[in-house]
Amino acid sequence: MRRNSKNGFMNLLEQYFTVHLPLAKGLSPNTIASYKCAFRILFQFMYDVNGIDAGGIAFENLNYDILTEFFIWMGKERKCSASTKSQRLAAISSFADYAQNRDFEAACIFRNSVNKILFKKVQNTPRSVFTRQEVSILLSLPDGNRKIGYRDIVLLSVMYASGARAQEVCDLTVGNVTCDQEKTWLIIKGKGGKTRRVGIPNACSALLTQYIQHRGIGDSPNRHIFSSQTHEHMTISCVEEIFKKYVSIAREENPTLFLENRYTPHSMRHATATHMLNAGVPLVVLKNFLGHESLQSTMIYAQISQSTVDKYIKDWNDKWFASDSGREIISKPANRIIDFLR
């Protein structure tokens, strides 16, 4: 007997979010939250426009016409950009693949409908990257004599030294900092629960160690290193506010710098990657440092500045094509056409 398609849809969606994404795929809570948002918006559309509540949605309700209307509605009613619509489509498409592999008959039309929906290719906006001078300015702005300023100096320094994402810095605990005779290491929990060990420079290590001692949490391995004024576990939004604050100050004091439209905490990660590449760090090493699964991600993520490209091209030209003033230049006869090509 064929299973009830309405129950089948919701049952599969529940398994998708509770088992498949977190356990089988190992996606981060933030990614899963983004996927959930796509379906909350879809359910809102189905109720507001089509009068179907979430419990009544079946695979056959999600045909090509309905899904097309949904994305048009997102643009008109919610003012969503093409980029946002593409993200929502990616989430729905991922579930469509999952559902068809588990209930082919019920989910086939749904998946085919999703696959027919196409958006114009979204142009990638240039990544905002701090220059080395801008990083230096940012690190000089917090007032180390104040509690919040002291925290911000250490936080910004750790982010630049480690190339860590905002969430990864928020999740750092005292137990994630290990030291040996030569170096200090951070055990960073990245996307999908994967961990990596990142060494930080001695100057940053000393700053971090002193800050942990200053807070009196050195004997509490489970304590988070960075806290907000209201929460022991800092959030991404707090880190974003910190960057917004100091970039705003830096722009006022340095009108010829910080010229990108928008800087985020990820701009510091981009800066770390770019500066390491500029310094000659091999791409494979940078891949492991940043915690990327594939080398392709690293190549897209970290862009080499044009000045660095020019420098390497100049070095190449100087080395291999330099004129030799001591060598007699022998004139060659004029080129002639090979006989059989006449």
**Spatial contact of 248 and 257, defined as CB atoms under 8 Å apart:** no
The closest of 232, 124, 123 to 173, measured between CA atoms, is 232
Orientation angle between helical segments 265-278 and 283-290, nearest 10 degrees: 160
- The one-letter code for the residue type at 245 is K
List of residues 6+ apart from 98 with CB closer than 8 A: 12, 16, 20
Q: Where are the beta strands (DSSP E) in 182-310?
A: 184-189, 195-200
| Model pLDDT, residue 259 | 86
Q: Identify the DSSP state of 184.
A: E
The closest of 24, 22, 110, 17 to 60, measured between CA atoms, is 110
Which of helix, strand or coil describes residue 5? helix
The three-point CA angle 331-332-335 to 5° equals: 145
* Alpha-carbon distances, residue 238 vs 121, 229, 233 (angstroms): 33, 10, 10
Q: Identify the DSSP state of 173.
A: B
C-alpha span between 201 and 184 (Å, rounded): 8
| Model pLDDT, residue 328 | 46
| Model pLDDT, residue 229 | 86
**Token pair 């643009």 is at which residue?**
75
Q: What are the domain boundaries of the chain?
A: 5-116, 132-301
* Alpha-carbon distances, residue 110 vs 38, 104, 116 (angstroms): 16, 10, 10
Chunked into runs of 10 residues, the chain (342 residues) has average pLDDT values of 57 91 83 90 91 87 91 89 86 91 85 81 67 92 92 94 92 90 85 83 91 92 91 91 94 90 90 86 85 76 56 66 49 45 40
| Model pLDDT, residue 1 | 35
Does domain 132-301 sit in CATH 1.10.443.10? yes
Orientation angle between helical segments 132-140 and 236-253, nearest 10 degrees: 100
C-alpha span between 163 and 160 (Å, rounded): 5
Other Cβ atoms less than 10 A from the Cβ of 122: the count is: 13
- Burial letters 89-119, b for 16+ CB under 10 A, else e: bebbebbbebbbeebeebbeebbebbeeeee
**Spatial contact of 266 and 160, defined as CB atoms under 8 Å apart:** no
C-alpha span between 307 and 268 (Å, rounded): 20
C-alpha span between 77 and 124 (Å, rounded): 24
- Burial letters 47-80, b for 16+ CB under 10 A, else e: eeeeebeeeebbbebbeeebbeebbebbeeeeeb
pTM of the entire predicted model: 0.62
Q: Residue 290: what are its φ and ψ, rounded to 5°? A: -85, -15
C-alpha span between 128 and 259 (Å, rounded): 9
